[in-house]
A and B are shown apart, each in its own frame.
Chain A
Amino acid sequence: MSEDMPDQDEAQPIETQTLPLDAWHRAHGGRMVPFAGYHMPVQFEGIMAEHLWTRERAGLFDVSHMGQVLLTGADVAGPLEQLLPGDLHGLKTDRMRYSLLLAEDGGILDDLMITRLASTAPFGMEDEGGEAFYMVVNGAVKYEDISFLREHLPDEVTINHLEDHALLALQGPGAGDALAQLLSGTDALYFMQAGGFDWDGVPLWISRSGYTGEDGFEISLPAADAERFATALVALDAVKPVGLGARDSLRLEAGLPLYGHDLTEQTTPMAGGLGFALSKRRREEGGFHGHERVLGEHRDGPVTQRVGLLIDGRQPVREGAEVVDEGGQAIGRITSGGHAPSLGQPIAMATVPAAFAAIGHRIHIRQRGKDFTGTVAAMPFVQQRYRRASKGS
């Protein structure tokens, strides 16, 4: 028997780095694999059990490989809006937004979360007044992102890579109650809101967000305190550590794209199905990288589109399988795929020509010489259960 599809990124840097919770993961039975240049736990007790636990209770994920970046200066939103199509001027303090780092041609260099801060004090930085934003970017491209920001932002914007901070995600319907057992005040946060907290003298930056489709939090804290805090979390009945394997199946069910797989530099925001990331004012005013192309596609539709697929039968199709037309010609590609534990069937994301992207369209796929069929389906595949603020609050 041989595994012929790697469960990790193919391109490994020369030396795989360790993260602050490395020893903690090993002590908790994590099976470590190289991912995005780091040793990461792919699973603890098993991907299926961890996936279902997260959907029912609460999973603790270590996402410290991701890039945490502070941007400060007298005017940050202005120059940053040239690189991102989101409304940053209109972003309120302690509110966050999903956005995209765009190359000059409008291709997606990364997808990210950005929060406007009142001050950088929660991250242990001396506050210098002016504007401050906190950005979380993908681990696999964080150094490229930071170089791109340095190159394209004026010198007056200070870029701080928070390499001494860990990032944990607590996700699932039990996450709110669990965190409230350790801290007071986190219940006041709704989806896409954030704030500073204190746990036993440790400064925490907590947002109500995540990438599983469930309610939950992302928690940034000094790396030196990460073990102690993770231990306090998993001591709670509802919380178990969860690995990268379940993180991938959870985000796939939630219809959330993974950069480097479902989105690349060749993907435009509309092709990526991310039209919602083009804020209204930005659509009207433009003024961001690739805006002519991006807004043209917003008006006329993209050439290709990211779609969700329900795959017939039980055998999963994986990244790299070809989408073919009736005549067997390759017309697209599976960008993510696997078994969906909450649905009990295989699902996938694919890039297909726009003419094939309508919900209900039948799709033919070829993988390792074998033919598969599927149907374009609405995403998310599994209902998202974010804790949203009611309108007007």
Chain B
Amino acid sequence: MKRYFTEDHEWIAVEGDEGTVGITDYAQEQLGDVVFVEVPDSGAMLKKGNDAAVVESVKAASDVYAPVSCEVLEGNDALGDEPGLVNSDPEGEGWFFKLRLEDKDELAELMDEAAYKEYVASL
């Protein structure tokens, strides 16, 4: 399983042609206490960069974008009752949705973990 990152602070963990998406630890730290998450419906078809989810912290609402073009397989229902999982375990239990990749070549446009670390350090 390999993990990729976007400049908008989403992560995607890829296994075969399926992936899991969430927001990074840096992103949850910037947002502060998350109080609501809206995940996409299964079956939704998303193009890379489309609005995929909404995350609301105490102070603001933010959009989460699809890191790749995909079909949504499943949203994380646990976030409905426990949106704080995004803060406590952003790159684990706080995942947003699972997907099937439409075009694996799009992954080449994303950062790997080392590149993302460097990117965050530059902010």
Contacts and interface: CB of A to CB of B under 8 A. Distances in A.
A103 interface: no
B50 interface: no
Contacts of A315: 36, 38, 54, 56
Contacts of B27: 1
A5 B58 CA distance: 12
A1 B62 contact: yes
Contacts of B35: 314, 316, 339, 346
A245 B55 CA distance: 17
Nearest to A7: B59
Contacts of A51: 58
Given A249-B58, A316-B56, A2 B36 contact: no
Contact of B62 (A2, A42, A245, A346): A2
B61 A5 contact: yes
Nearest to B24: A1
B65 A42 contact: no
A316 B38 CA distance: 12
B59 A48 contact: no
B60 A3 contact: yes
Interface string A1-20: 11111110000000000000
A245 B63 contact: no
Interface string A149-174: 00000000000000000000000000
Given A5-B61, A249-B58, A314-B83, A47 B32 contact: yes
Interface residues of A, number: 24
A43 interface: yes
A6 B38 CA distance: 20
Given A1-B55, A245-B58, A314 B65 contact: no
Chain B interface category by residue count: 20 to 34
B55 A42 contact: no
Interface string B59-76: 111111100000000000
Given A314-B83, A316-B56, A4 B32 contact: no
A341 B59 CA distance: 11
B10 interface: yes
Contact of B58 (A6, A48, A314): A48
A46 B35 CA distance: 13
B8 interface: yes
A327 B1 CA distance: 50
A339 B38 contact: no
A338 interface: yes
B12 interface: no
A289 interface: no
B63 A2 contact: yes
Nearest to B54: A315
Nearest to B84: A48
Q: Which of A47, A51, A249 has its CB near the most chain B CB atoms (within 10 A)?
A: A47
A46 B87 CA distance: 11
Nearest to A42: B59
B58 A339 contact: yes
Contacts of B55: 1
A4 B56 contact: no
A55 interface: no
B26 to A, nearest CB: 10
Contacts of B54: 315
A1 B32 contact: no
Given A47-B33, A314-B35, A4 B58 contact: no
29 contacts: A1-B8, A1-B9, A1-B23, A1-B27, A1-B62, A1-B63, A1-B65, A2-B65, A3-B30, A3-B31, A3-B62, A4-B60, A4-B61, A5-B61, A6-B60, A42-B59, A46-B32, A47-B33, A47-B57, A47-B58, A245-B32, A245-B59, A314-B35, A314-B80, A315-B36, A316-B35, A346-B35, A346-B36, A368-B61
Given A1-B65, A314-B35, 13 more contacts: A1-B63, A2-B63, A6-B60, A7-B59, A42-B59, A47-B32, A245-B58, A249-B58, A316-B61, A318-B60, A339-B36, A341-B33, A368-B61
